Structure 1
Amino acid sequence: MNWEKSAFFDTQADQDWADADYTPEETAKIRRLILETGIKSGTRIIEPGCGTGRLTKILSDAVGDKGRLIAFDISPKMIAKCHSRLEHIGNVEIYLGAIENFKFEKQAFNLVLCHQVFPHFDDKPLAVRLLANALKPEGKFILFHFKNSAWINDLHRKAHPAVIADIIPSEEEMTIIFEAAGMKIDVLRDDNQGYFLKAGFIK
């Protein structure tokens, strides 16, 4: 696990961007996300980089008792907040750790949902392969950010040294990364509404 990055995100656990209630604009984008990805009762989701659990709680409500979430993050302080936010909720499993540390059930999940986290994967091709292996054949891989890639990449370049190199790759690079995992990008939007990528397995 990248301990420098873990320590940086510990310092961010109380910041508004990580822990405050979503704004009306952000809430509208999340509603659109749920509709577009088909999240419903019974959906099984992996949520890397769950942070303080703001989205995790919304997803838990959406998938209901018949659904299941695996949520994890590398920041102990964010995971502590996530546990507190989702205390007594039975359809979510919360873990501290990096993707490389997990042994996911193969072909057991409907959706991988990377919200505001993909730039922070140190080895993006490996992360995609490991997560894709946990998806059912009809499963989908989603990347979702409130801001577009240019805004996100510029922010990280000006931020802490731990995340200065954490960027969203170009569309061409993304295509290569996902194809190496046996997936193709079905949708990629990168505009003033944010960043949204949906990939499925190559048939």
Structure 2
Amino acid sequence: MSQSLADAGTAAFPVAENVLIVEHVPHEGPYAIGVELEAAGLPVRACRTWAGDPVPASLGGAAALVVMGGPAAAYEDFPSRTAELALIRTALEAEVPVLGVCLGAQLLAEAAGGTARPASGPRIGWGEVRTAPAAHTDPLFADAPGRLPVLHWHGDTMDLPAGATLLASCDRYPVQAFRIGGSAWGLQFHLEVDNAAVDAFAAAFPDEAAIAPDLDASAPGNLAALAPHRDAVFARFAALVAGRAARSGTRTFFTPMAATWEERFAGDTPRYAAAVARMGLRSGQRVLDVGCGSGRALPALRAEVGDEGVVLGVDLTPAMLTATAAVEGRAGLARLLMADACRLPLAAGAVDGIFSAGLINHVPDPTAALCEWARATAPGGVLLLFHPSGRAERAARHGRPLDPADPLAEENLRPALYAAGWALDCYEDATRHFLARAVRVR
């Protein structure tokens, strides 16, 4: 994120606060999913394709994406299919949480490289699914029983993409629940249903409902058995979404821009190199570029510590790390880590220096970030905060006055650094650059 943040303004990026839910038909709403999202303080933003709502071209800062079911086939070209697949792929790339139900699960499988297809015939009504061994350690299904009573209402199935984790199955439909990566889940069955949902399904599809004549009569008992597991799974999903909201906001902001960011700001490379030279690094030392973005500072950092030294690049957005590795000559300059800048996966005193371009204005808690960077830095190590333009220039470019609460204002930065264990020994707020150098003293 280094040079990305350096040119993105001075206000912190917004935390993603809503969940985008794509609905294909009126009766297949979120039901229990929506209840748990609301309980977690996550407002819902509905895209009702059945009412003519266009599928957004981007996640728009959404904290999660939920794609519900419907009568369309995921392998056929219904009107919103292409846009939905693109949106799901965007969420997968940004590692924003995704939940797909029935048709939504099939679209998730297709978006990730799997294949949706017709099955041997429809399955309608109540029935058990068997949870797979992987469910026992899954973030959502860890407490689900070995046999879970659910509502089936589908005639299609899917072949999972390579690397997907199977979570539940049944005899006729071996893929009933799965996970892709660490933040996307597909449910072929309808775990979200309550009494209102069962009534709505039956009213909307009377011919299909006739396949299961005991659908209504057995609903109370089946729902009573289902409810505690249903609520636990969706409460865990809501908690996961809420816990990742800040991370998701950053990723949805940067992911669409990652592929072109390097070429947009190539002219800043000499200023990054000049700033790195001010750190005073020595051959063989260990240095971290925190929020490295597409790796603008990595060549200069490698030159300073030499082949014997260690260069680490940390960024929260997977697409930015991919962009770093794609730039010619940068793939082998550093060890790239995907991590939160305020929760570094490093031991205390692991590095001798930290370079940070533009990041301190955008972390949720600048004081906490300075403390975390001090923890990871050995005594005597150096921190360099850099920006390729000065505070006044940036404020003018964004049409606002200097903010007295700006964490980079010297009267704010110096005491914050001291409290975190740093001593500020250089502060330059010039027209064409900002630079603050501090030494780890305690």
Moved over 4 A (4+): 153-158
Please state whether the residue corresponding to 2:438 is helix, strand or coil: strand
Specify which of 239, 243, 255 is matched with residue 10 of structure 1. 255
Residues 53 and 28 of structure 1: CA distance in aligned 2, closer, same or farther (over 3 Å): closer
Please state whether the residue corresponding to 1:107 is helix, strand or coil: coil
Which has the larger share of helix?
1
Which has the higher Rg, Structure 1 or Structure 2?
2
Residues 36 and 57 of structure 1: CA distance in aligned 2, closer, same or farther (over 3 Å): closer
Q: Which runs of no fewer than 5 residues in structure 1 stay unpaired?
A: 159-165
Residues 125 and 172 of structure 1: CA distance in aligned 2, closer, same or farther (over 3 Å): same
Following the alignment from structure 1 to structure 2, what is the Cα–Cα distance between the partners of residues 153 and 33? 21
Bigger mean CA deviation after superposition, 124-133 or 94-103: 94-103
Q: What is the deviation of 1:157? A: 7.5
1:70 alignment counterpart: 312
Cα RMSD of the aligned pairs, angstroms, is 2.5
Deviation track 1:29-62 (CA, whole Å, cap 9, x = no partner) reads: 3343233212342121111110011222332243
Q: What is the deviation of 1:19? A: 0.6
Q: What is the deviation of 1:154? A: 5.2
Following the alignment from structure 1 to structure 2, what is the Cα–Cα distance between the partners of residues 189 and 72? 25
Contact 1:187 1:197 in 2 (8 A): yes
Following the alignment from structure 2 to structure 1, what is the Cα–Cα distance between the partners of residues 322 and 270? 27
Q: What is the deviation of 1:202? A: 3.9
Contact 1:156 1:167 in 2 (8 A): no
Contact 1:153 1:167 in 2 (8 A): no
Following the alignment from structure 2 to structure 1, what is the Cα–Cα distance between the partners of residues 281 and 440? 18
Per chain length, whose mean CA-contact separation is higher, i.e. which structure has more relative contact order (CA < 8 Å, sep 6+)? 1
Following the alignment from structure 1 to structure 2, what is the Cα–Cα distance between the partners of residues 100 and 34? 21
Following the alignment from structure 2 to structure 1, what is the Cα–Cα distance between the partners of residues 397 and 253? 15
Q: What is the deviation of 1:156? A: 6.2
Following the alignment from structure 1 to structure 2, what is the Cα–Cα distance between the partners of residues 74 and 153? 26
Q: Percent sequence identity over matched residues?
A: 22
Deviation track 1:57-107 (CA, whole Å, cap 9, x = no partner) reads: 3322432221112211122211111123333x1x62211221233232212
Q: What is the deviation of 1:168? A: 4.6
**How many matched pairs?**
190
1:163 alignment counterpart: none
Q: What is the deviation of 1:134? A: 1.4
1:104 alignment counterpart: 346
TM score, norm. by length of structure 2:
0.40
Residues 169 and 32 of structure 1: CA distance in aligned 2, closer, same or farther (over 3 Å): closer
Letter in 2 for 1:170: A
TM score, norm. by length of structure 1:
0.81
Letter in 1 for 2:249: E
Please state whether the residue corresponding to 1:54 is helix, strand or coil: coil
Please state whether the residue corresponding to 2:307 is helix, strand or coil: coil
Deviation track 1:170-195 (CA, whole Å, cap 9, x = no partner) reads: 21111121111121211110011310
Contact 2:384 2:435 in 1 (8 A): yes
Residues 58 and 31 of structure 1: CA distance in aligned 2, closer, same or farther (over 3 Å): closer
Please state whether the residue corresponding to 2:337 is helix, strand or coil: strand
Specify which of 417, 434, 442 is matched with residue 178 of structure 1. 417
Following the alignment from structure 1 to structure 2, what is the Cα–Cα distance between the partners of residues 153 and 14? 27
Q: Which runs of no fewer than 5 residues in structure 2 stay unpaired?
A: 1-243
Following the alignment from structure 2 to structure 1, what is the Cα–Cα distance between the partners of residues 434 and 417? 16
Residues 121 and 152 of structure 1: CA distance in aligned 2, closer, same or farther (over 3 Å): farther
Letter in 1 for 2:252: A
Letter in 1 for 2:413: M
Bigger mean CA deviation after superposition, 48-57 or 136-145: 48-57
